[in-house]
Chains A and B, each alone.
Chain A
Amino acid sequence: MKNLNTSAVNTWCPGCGNFGIEVGLKAVLSEMAEQGELDLDKVVLATGIGCHGKIADYVNVNSFYSLHGRAVPAAVGIKMANPDLTVIVCVGDGDVLGEGLDHLVFAAKRNSNIKVLVHENRIYALTTGQYSPTSPKGFRGRSTPTGSLEQPLNPIELMLASGASFVARTYSGRLAHQKKMMQEAIKHNGFAFLDILQPCFVYYNTYPLYNQNVYELGPEHDPADSQQALKLAKEWSYQDSGKIPVGIFYQKK
């Protein structure tokens, strides 16, 4: 098995949900490489800027550590230039739903064959704790001390409306489920969007919320059914309560 570690010192906070994503991604890449499902030389990781972006330094594969919000178009360019590459895009919620939302919508619209993994911590963490596009209404961040007045964006709904051909959600605290979702996203032939719920232990500790409310979609949900997918997407609207389905909401095959 190829060593996917680098010499970089990890600077995420103790308890950070990003560790789960890093461990999960490395495991998925190694296993898929071992099974001949991908060639590690041909994997490219594109990242934005934020806590999530550090993963570019921590995984020993080709990487493009882009600007805040611009990982997606860079990834689209990489895939366009060399379609043999497997292009995985690690982005943050502020990064891809705030700063670079336009690119995300268009990458979904054109079904660009890239795999977007959102490190969904629902907070601006690296800038020390401001509300993000997916923070719940009333969230008290350092730019919204009296509580955010805005409704959170629902990225699942947004991606379904944008024509994404693979839309899924997982939770970094459920490693087995996360692994399966990552594999499915990578194997999907087309644009894949995977929202990974990832607690920020320092600024927005959502471990209790997710541990209590996350449930995995069962076989009763047919991912080919876009109407059902939309209904399911609305079950949880990124507030701070309610049952949270995880799994593949929609996949066009």
Chain B
Amino acid sequence: MKEFSFLMGGKAGDGVKVAGAILAHVLNELGYWIFVYEDYPSLITGGHNFSIIRASSKKILCHRDKIDVAIALSKDTPEHHPKRLKKETIWIYDADVLEKEKGLGIAMSKIVKENGLPQIARNVLSVAALAGICGMDFALIEKAIKENVPQKIEANLKIAKIGHEAGKNSPLKMKVNKLKDSARPLLSGNEAICLGAAAAGLDFYIAYPMTPSTGLLHFFAAKGGELGVTAVHPENEIGVITMAEGAAFAGKRTMVGTAGGGFALMVEALSLAGQAEIPVAIVVGQRPAPATGVPTYTAQGDLHFILAAGHGEFPKLVVAPGDADEAFYLTAKALNLAWQYQIPAIILSDKHLSESIFNASFDKAKIKKEKPKLWTGKGDYKRYLQTADGISPLAFPGQKGAVVKATGYEHDEFGLTIEREEMVVRVVEKRLRKKEALRKEIQKMETFKIYGNKKSQTLVVVWGSNKGAVLEAADRLGLKVIQPLFLEPFIDTKFKREAAKAKKIIVVETNATGQLAELLANHGIIANKKILKYDGRPFTVDELEEKIKKILK
């Protein structure tokens, strides 16, 4: 396997993310599989931001510890990454802001100033220098700049040329050859979620900004027009979800997105969606909590909260994608199921999935807007008609002859408030039947995936964004991996069969208590070991490999 890891480091405002995107695009054009990890603190300017761009001849879904070429746009960049350096790591740095004994120093600040560009343009120059060192054609850089830099293209191309020449003429060399594969789609987990929802017929995306889900709002605000999706930004998360439910009641497909804190505000209305039987898709991007926690980093600490969320008992769906392809398919599935079963459906992501950049290979043609059960227009309309599977036909206000009454109170078939005990029981049992019908439907689907060495007696259990690091580490160690895709309803039958074949079960999670392990234990599946990480950072494959090795010793 041929692979390279690059690091772009600088202050917030130095354009590190854009530089990373340019580099990722160039490497993608060269036929490599790409993964980009973004790391930034919660501030607007200053601090230390970095991106790790990994390129490989084999499919990858995570980043590594060690870096081949590092770019420093700020004085303190090298201080942040001692553990990522190898003896042969090549540094490219702005000689106007820091001094180094080795590496390629370019007077970047001076050059961009002379060319009438702001300091942020150093990002372009430095990537071009990297391309020069790696023997990449300038044409590739030119194309990436044209696609990723918003303005002053000519001046940017000029400084890029200077950077590229400096790299080319430097004695430092690390050849990155073109592979025979062609470029693949490159997008973030958030973008894949957006495209999945749009493919399943989303009409409105409603959200209040909150990391790591803000990207969804920005995406739909910018590109919703092409996709038939309107982006709306209300006063707060309670407004967000109740507005989404109002719009769904009126017949439009809605999705909302937030993180744990915003979801906490939505929970009362989550229960309303359960009681009133209103379909709504909810994206929750986890980040380290409690409270504001470490807002721009990653965690899987909200699983129990999500599974238990909502007062009372009602069916809901929780899916946990682990990469961009799964984010696309599972979001589409969640939105469709929300409408078919008239339930809230949660897409559980985290910062590492939402904001990392992946190669994707999903096929939009495989997804369509599934039709919900609709009223035939005959007789009196009963919003909560009792049916065998608990699902009542939908009608929408404005439809001739239908009086559509949705309510958060316990209700009769017309949607009028009731309190009598035998009537209460009837509606409770209606919801239970719906839950059972949903469970049966999910059972027919791919509820979990198995990877790696099928004969291995060590089973590594992973959910969500840790998939990438776990798959690669398990591959190196010859282990079997299992990944649940649906966490509610959780179908345990086949899962138990797999678990029974294993001598050792290891659960990998980015939280402090092992929440998936606990969910499994509730289903009688006991993990022998838990590998937990709760510093806000995702696992790298190397780090995980070491931890698994220790356990296997």
Residues of A within 8 A of B (CB): 6-8, 41-44, 46, 49, 54, 56-57, 60-67, 70, 73-78, 80-82, 84-85, 102-103, 105-106
Contacts and interface: CB of A to CB of B under 8 A. Distances in A.
A59 to B, nearest CB: 10
B401 to A, nearest CB: 7
Contacts of A78: 246-247, 249-250, 397
Given A42-B397, A42-B398, A106-B235, A77 B403 contact: no
B235 A82 contact: no
B125 to A, nearest CB: 44
Interface string B376-414: 000000000000000000001111111111111100001
A8 B404 contact: no
B269 interface: yes
B338 to A, nearest CB: 15
Interface stretch (B179-187, B237-245, B357-365, B451-459): B237-245
Contact of B401 (A41, A70, A75, A77): A41
Interface residues of B, number: 44
B404 A62 contact: yes
A11 B327 CA distance: 49
A105 B236 CA distance: 12
Contacts of A84: 398
B372 interface: no
A89 B438 CA distance: 34
A78 B269 CA distance: 15
Nearest to B250: A81
B272 interface: yes
B416 interface: yes
Contact of A70 (B242, B250, B251, B399): B242
30 contacts: A6-B416, A7-B414, A8-B417, A41-B397, A41-B400, A44-B397, A56-B407, A61-B403, A62-B397, A62-B402, A64-B246, A64-B276, A64-B406, A65-B405, A65-B408, A66-B408, A67-B408, A73-B235, A73-B239, A73-B242, A73-B243, A74-B243, A77-B243, A77-B247, A77-B249, A78-B249, A78-B250, A80-B243, A81-B203, A103-B238
A73 B269 CA distance: 11
B242 A63 contact: no
Nearest to A80: B247
B68 interface: no
A185 B52 CA distance: 58
B204 interface: yes
A67 B398 contact: no
A84 B236 CA distance: 26
Contact of A73 (B238, B249, B402): B238
A76 B398 contact: no
Contacts of A73: 234-235, 238-240, 242-243, 246
B268 interface: yes
Contact of A63 (B232, B238, B244, B405): B405
B252 interface: yes
Nearest to A104: B235
Contact of B234 (A63, A75, A106): A106
Given A42-B398, A60-B403, A63-B407, A85 B250 contact: yes
B321 interface: no
Given A65-B405, A67-B408, A80-B232, A74 B416 contact: no
